[in-house]
Amino acid sequence: MATDERGLHLSTDSADAADAFNAAMRSFFAWRRDVMQHLGAALEADPGFVLAHALSGLFLCGMRQPAAYPIARESLAAAKRGEAGCSDRERAYVAALEATLDGDLFRAVNCFEEVIENHPLDLIAIRLGQMELFWLGEVAWARDITGRPAAAWSEAVPGYSAFLGVRSFALEETGDYEAAERLGRRSIELDPGDCQAAHAVAHVLEMEGRLDDGVEWLDGLKDGWAEANHIVHHLWWHRCLFETERGNHAGALETYDRFVRNPQSPLIQAMSNFFTDMQNCAALLARLEMRGIDVGGRWEAVADDYESWIGNHTSALTSPHCALVFAATGRDAKLDELMADLREFAATDRGALGPRFAVAVIPAADAAVAYQRGDYQGVLDSLLPARRLLWQMGGSHAQRDLFFQIMAYAAARLGRADLLAILLDDVRSIGFAQVDQRASYADVAAA
Ligand SMILES: [Fe+2]
């Protein structure tokens, strides 16, 4: 009987297919870029391998590109053809894919939860469930989904370092920085190339305002990222945040040019509009401009890639970043198109994301545009009432902090010390320490 590396049954008679599947999962857990090649090899060895079809579809959806959805539907059809001969666990992945394609992301999460409850060593479901919830902003749920199976895990279980990385990040986003850092650092001791753990600890250091530690942490790990997927750009983006917060703007720009948005990067050449890249670039350029730094032609250099996101509603956090870029580059027609499309989606979508666009994405996008146009009252009118709902955009506290920085900037420009005091308290209550010592807030507070 074929099994995965944690002893979970795989419905295939092909040893080659099982081997390729296990290689794919190792790559998935490690954030390497060759996951789909290994899954393709698994399906070549056994074209009826249902779990490999289901995961191909789920990973394609995870790219958050509408062009991939028809291919994911083919994966779903292939998986359904063989699911009668599968385990309940494998059928749950098929159901999760179907729910994802229907836009019913919470139903997909329910499928992963059931798998985890019955198979606490199913790291795929833990990882997919945590990631989906992260992008929905449901961090407490993600903490719980990674916590319930924790008792079944130990260093004797293959993939333990990856489990610790996932758990660490879930704990960090719910404010348990001590446990998150401890688990993340243990994960790195076991596997220095674990990008999830590197990322989780970077978030702890960001939240705690340990800016020098953050640079040192990432620089100590960067040699292990050679095979990493687009997460590597985001890890370098975190280094840019540390640099920006400690006032080394030139260093942040240099890191951006070399590692966050280097057009020579094979990853960017293969796919230049990956959703986290779209978040990274716009957010950093805006953060630097708010500090008075001239970022030159960097907005224009990336703007074309954001145009491909008009009509793409798969990533709530990404859309306001598109508005920021179109307003920064004077692409008014594209901006109008984007905003009309976002409003239409928010008004009509009945899946998990439509309501989130209505309460968080559109106010953030409106504020981004107002900020770029120097309409600081407009920023506050759009975002102050919505700021406690911004978590519904998904992503991390560190990512959404951009919108608090924009509000604080606007409040300072308008001389609204009262609002600034409220906002700085908000930022502290979200979990940021040493707010007064961060360049992002120190200069506006001083103003
Ligand atoms: Fe991050």
DSSP bridge partners of 228? 32
Alpha-carbon dihedral sign for residues 148, 152, 49, 38 = positive
First to last CA, the chain: 68
Mean pLDDT of 246-256: 96
User: In the prediction, which pLDDT does 125 show?
Assistant: 98
Res. 445 pLDDT band, cuts 50 70 90: confident
> How much distance in Å is there from the Cα of 252 to the middle of ligand 1?
16
> 234 C-alpha to center of ligand 1: Å?
6
pLDDT digits (tens, 9 = 90+) for 33-64: 999 999 999 999 999 999 999 999 999 999 99
The Å distance, Cα 437 to ligand 1 centre, comes to 21
Query: Separation of 105 CA from ligand 1 center, angstroms?
Result: 22
Q: Cα(132) to centroid of ligand 1, in Å?
A: 15
What is the distance in A from the centroid of ligand 1 to the CA of 250? Answer: 21
| pLDDT tens digits along 81-138 | 999 989 999 999 999 999 999 999 999 999 999 999 999 999 999 999 999 999 999 9
Q: What is the mean pLDDT of the chain?
A: 97
In eight-state DSSP terms, residue 48 is T
pLDDT at 446: 80
Ligand 1 geometric centre to CA of 220 (Å): 17
Q: How far is the CA of 9 from the centre of ligand 1 (A)?
A: 33
**Nearest residue to 106 (alpha-carbon basis) of 128, 133, 130:** 133
d(CA 423, CA 380): 11
Q: How many helices (H) and strands (E) does the chain have?
A: 25, 0
Question: What are the structure tokens assigned to 169, written together?
Answer: 């990040």
Each residue's pLDDT tens digit, 228-237? 999 999 999 9
Residue 370: the pLDDT is 98
For residue 213, give Cα distances in angstroms to 32, 149, 340, 351: 26, 31, 43, 41
pLDDT the model gives residue 230:
96
Ligand 1 mean position, distance from CA 123 (Å): 21
Regarding pTM above 0.95, the answer is: yes
Three-class SS state of 294: coil
Ligand 1 centroid – CA 282 distance (Å): 14
Q: What pLDDT, in 10s, does the model give residues 321-366?
A: 999 999 999 999 999 999 999 999 999 999 999 999 999 999 999 9
Ligand 1 center to 196 CA (angstroms): 9
Question: pLDDT at position 1, please?
Answer: 76
Q: How far is the CA of 203 from the centre of ligand 1 (A)?
A: 6
Quote the ligand 1 centre to 109 CA distance (angstroms).
21
Q: How far is the CA of 177 from the centre of ligand 1 (A)?
A: 14
Taking the C-alpha atoms of residue 98 and residue 81, their distance in angstroms, rounded to an integer, is 13
- What is the Cα–Cα distance from 424 to 434, expressed in whole angstroms? 11
Summarised one tens digit per residue, pLDDT across range 125-162 is: 999 999 999 999 999 999 999 999 999 999 999 999 99
For the chain, the residue count is 447
Q: Which pLDDT value is given to residue 387?
A: 97
Ligand 1 mean position to 148 CA, how many Å? 24
Q: Rounded CA gap, 349 and 362, in Å? A: 14
CA 67 – ligand 1 centroid, Å: 26
